[in-house]
């Protein structure tokens, strides 16, 4: 992120790592407090987070054994990103629908408003 150009689109953000680490089977050994200053500093470079939740039905085919963990991560990310569990205070846009609807929602947010 540090070396990125302006208007760069990332598939993941630093908050994602917290979602995965807090839901991992060894989560008890993870010290969130040690990571938060670095995550907050990195997140300060981000203007907008686009949250793409799991949909019903889920568009991503995952083995049945992994579906519950995927839902657990989705719930953790929703709490961290949408509900701002760590007080990062960034704008979050949640998108739904088919790919075109998602793109249109994001473009409507990021395109300059005509005067």
Closest C-alpha among 56, 40, 51 to residue 92:
51
**pTM (predicted TM-score):** 0.82
Q: What local confidence, expressed as pLDDT, does residue 93 receive? A: 96
Residue 57 pLDDT greater than 80, yes or no: no
For the chain, the structural domain boundaries read 14-110
What is the mean predicted confidence (pLDDT) over 33-62?
87
Rounded to 5°, angle at Cα 43 from 45 and 11: 90
Residue 45 to residue 83: CA distance in whole angstroms: 19
Asked if 108 and 40 touch (Cβ cutoff 8 Å), the reply is no
Residue 62: strand pairing partners: none
């Amino acid at each position: 992120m540090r070396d990125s150009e302006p208007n760069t689109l990332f598939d993941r953000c630093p908050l994602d790592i917290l979602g995965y680490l807090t839901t991992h089977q060894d989560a008890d050994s993870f010290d969130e407090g040690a990571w938060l200053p670095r995550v907050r500093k990195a997140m300060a470079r981000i203007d907008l987070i686009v949250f793409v939740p799991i949909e019903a039905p889920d568009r991503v085919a995952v083995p049945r054994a992994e579906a519950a963990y995927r839902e657990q991560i989705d719930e953790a990310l929703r709490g961290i990103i949408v509900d701002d569990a760590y007080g990062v205070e960034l704008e979050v846009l949640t998108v739904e629908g088919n790919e075109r609807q998602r793109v249109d929602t994001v473009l409507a947010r990021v395109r300059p408003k005509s005067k």
